[in-house]
Amino acid sequence: MGSVLPSFQWLSLFFLIISVNVCAFKIPRLGTWQRSTKERDPEISSSLHLSDDDLKTFYYTQRLDHFNYRPDSYHTFQQRYMVNFKYWGGAKSSAPIFAFFGAEGPVDEDAKYIGFLRDNAPQFNALIVFIEHRYYGKSIPFGSSEEAMRNASTRGYFNSAQAIADYAAVLLHIKKTLSAQNSPIIVIGGSYGGMLASWFRLKYPHIALGALASSAPILYFNGIAPQAGYYYIVTKDFKETSESCYQTIRKSWSEIDRVAKKPNGLSILSKRFKTCDKLNKSFDLKDYLDSLYTDAAQYNYPSEHPVKIVCGAIDAAAKKTDILGQIFEGVVAYKQHRSCYDMNEYNHPTESFLGWRWQTCSEIIMPIGHEKNDSMFPPAPFNMKTFVQECRSLYGVLPQPHWVTTYYGGPDLKLILHRFASNIIFSNGLRDPYSSGGVLESISNTVVAVTTVNGCHCLDIQSRKANDPQWLVTQRNTEVKIIKGWIAEYKADLIALTKQIKAPAEPKS
């Protein structure tokens, strides 16, 4: 495993951004909620709990490296976490703690969209905690994002094992501070955060009683799930919504290429798609459309149904325009009327984008690709060798595609966890492309899959709404019931064990 890098390659932020944008591999974004929601539909956003005055912010002095004793490892950073005490029943009644694990973004943003904790805390008398992931938001080592991401030495501490060890330390700190030793902790996460939640229950069962892992593609590693799964489901979502829409999209790629090859072809495409900047290559347009469609499928909320919106517009335009016109109408329907469309919208070098890019290039390596007949998209098979080379040139260190399955497992999950582990819910919506890497069948009575045919990415942990479809209400109720079962069993065990300790031993006859 591993090899000695001949020399350390320093990369400027500029080079980083450039390289990311010309990246040949596209790992679709994860994320518990759709970051473009707000700009698309302010009305929907305003209906969400966008602020929570009861959430108090704290900082924990976190160790930089939990698995090393070099002097550098002892450096610390301030890790942000937020607590809502409003519903908590207190330590004396061993009232539970709901802890949301932040993922690849600022946790205060998550706190706005993730309603599962707040919606259910009252009936559990639960404390609500949101903990931010290291290297995101306000939880940045080395003083600033720029410093933290400056080179391979500062980025090296940015990985999942360190992140869940952080969560362990923060949760023990909270329990100690509140003298809540007997309060069971339920950890909750979505997407990458869902992976962290399930992995946390496996690695730290003494800290978390159970985990709700929403839309966690923990099998999208090291060849366990098929590479084409993601794009296969995106395609299926579109095809099932409208066969003609699917056909139009499928044909559009070669049409774009055909026009691009004309004299002034890129100018024609730029005009027809109202791009903010003139296209330099047709790839940028295709990449933008790829992101738009996968985004629509992944966050195909039942209240908005973006796939229907896109397909509705594409189909409606069939009689009045050509394929490119139809595709553009789909863009307009999804993004609304704008003076121009930014082809680079999905690749802006935000903190989340850059952080996640590093994580997917070092440790969280999900080989997502698709061949010619797998999907409605142009073929883009995943080539590990090229991927490794590209990441290496980007970041100066060698990606470790086998490490996730070495540390967390993955192959033979059913065989292994059938008689080991307990209290994990893997929830998935089967319309979510990432469900192709999820655990979709229950492994045991207590390691269970809860799926919905029509659900999308992380839908179950988002805030409850008045117009939620019945299947979503049922899914959430099922999850709540399971968690109640864990806590009831835990409390019974706790009482039994306390009695056992207090009772004098039976004299042996």
Query: 10 vs 85, which CB is nearer to a copy of itself?
Result: 10
Regarding 409 and contact with a copy of itself (CB under 8 A), the answer is: yes
Residue type, 141: P
Total binding residues toward a copy of itself, as defined by CB under 8 A = 72
Alpha helices in 88-221 (DSSP H): 107-113, 116-124, 145-148, 152-155, 160-177, 192-203
Regarding 155 and contact with a copy of itself (CB under 8 A), the answer is: yes
- Residue 193 DSSP SS3: helix
Calculate ∠ Cα 95-100-102, nearest 5°.
Answer: 155
Q: Using a CB cutoff of 8 Å and minimum separation of 24, what contacts does 221-224 make?
A: 221/365, 221/366, 221/367, 221/401, 221/404, 221/405, 221/410, 221/437, 222/401, 222/402, 222/404, 222/405, 222/410, 222/411, 223/367, 224/405, 224/410, 224/411, 224/437
Rounded-to-integer distance, Cα 300 and Cα 308, Å: 9
Q: Which of 247, 446, 454, 478 binds a copy of itself (CB under 8 A)?
A: 446
Q: Which of 51, 93, 144, 153 binds a copy of itself (CB under 8 A)?
A: 153
Regarding 5 and contact with a copy of itself (CB under 8 A), the answer is: yes
Sign of CA dihedral 7, 8, 14, 15: positive
Only one of the segments 134-142, 232-240, 316-324, 488-496 lies at the binding site for a copy of itself (rule: CB under 8 A); that segment is 488-496
Query: 159 vs 427, which CB is nearer to a copy of itself?
Result: 159
Q: Which of 161, 309, 332, 384 binds a copy of itself (CB under 8 A)?
A: 161
Cβ contact 128:87 at 8 Å: yes
Cβ contact 198:212 at 8 Å: no
Regarding 59 and contact with a copy of itself (CB under 8 A), the answer is: no
Regarding 76 and contact with a copy of itself (CB under 8 A), the answer is: yes
What is the pattern of x (binds a copy of itself, CB under 8 A) and - over residues 172-211?
Answer: x-----------------------------xxxxxx----
Question: Smallest distance from the beta carbon of 149 to a copy of itself, in angstroms?
Answer: 12
The C-alpha R_g of the chain, in whole angstroms, comes to 24
Q: In the annotation, is 183 catalytic? A: no
Q: In the annotation, is 257 catalytic? A: no
Regarding 147 and contact with a copy of itself (CB under 8 A), the answer is: no
Question: Smallest distance from the beta carbon of 129 to a copy of itself, in angstroms?
Answer: 17
Question: Smallest distance from the beta carbon of 508 to a copy of itself, in angstroms?
Answer: 13
Q: Which of 51, 61, 267, 280 binds a copy of itself (CB under 8 A)?
A: 61
Regarding 489 and contact with a copy of itself (CB under 8 A), the answer is: yes
Q: In the annotation, is 370 catalytic? A: no
Q: Give, for 98, the enclosing helix (H) or strand (E).
A: strand 97-101
Only one of the segments 35-43, 329-337, 402-410, 457-465 lies at the binding site for a copy of itself (rule: CB under 8 A); that segment is 402-410
CA-to-CA dists, residue 132 to 13, 60, 129, 359, 486, angstroms? 24, 11, 10, 16, 26
Residue type, 143: G
Question: Smallest distance from the beta carbon of 67 to a copy of itself, in angstroms?
Answer: 4
Query: Going edge to edge, which strands form the sheet with 127-131?
Result: 55-63, 76-84, 127-131, 97-101, 185-190, 210-214, 424-429, 447-452
Query: 371 vs 493, which CB is nearer to a copy of itself?
Result: 493
Only one of the segments 151-159, 252-260, 316-324, 426-434 lies at the binding site for a copy of itself (rule: CB under 8 A); that segment is 151-159
Q: Report which DSSP code applies to 437.
A: G
DSSP β-bridge partners for residue 410: 412
Regarding 493 and contact with a copy of itself (CB under 8 A), the answer is: yes
Regarding 75 and contact with a copy of itself (CB under 8 A), the answer is: yes
Q: Which of 337, 385, 419, 499 binds a copy of itself (CB under 8 A)?
A: 419
Regarding 412 and contact with a copy of itself (CB under 8 A), the answer is: yes
Which member of 315, 457, 460, 468 is catalytic?
457
Helix axes 265-272, 323-335, angle to 10 degrees: 40
Q: Which of 280, 336, 389, 406 binds a copy of itself (CB under 8 A)?
A: 406
Regarding 152 and contact with a copy of itself (CB under 8 A), the answer is: yes
Q: Could you give the residue numbers annotated as active site?
A: 191, 432, 457
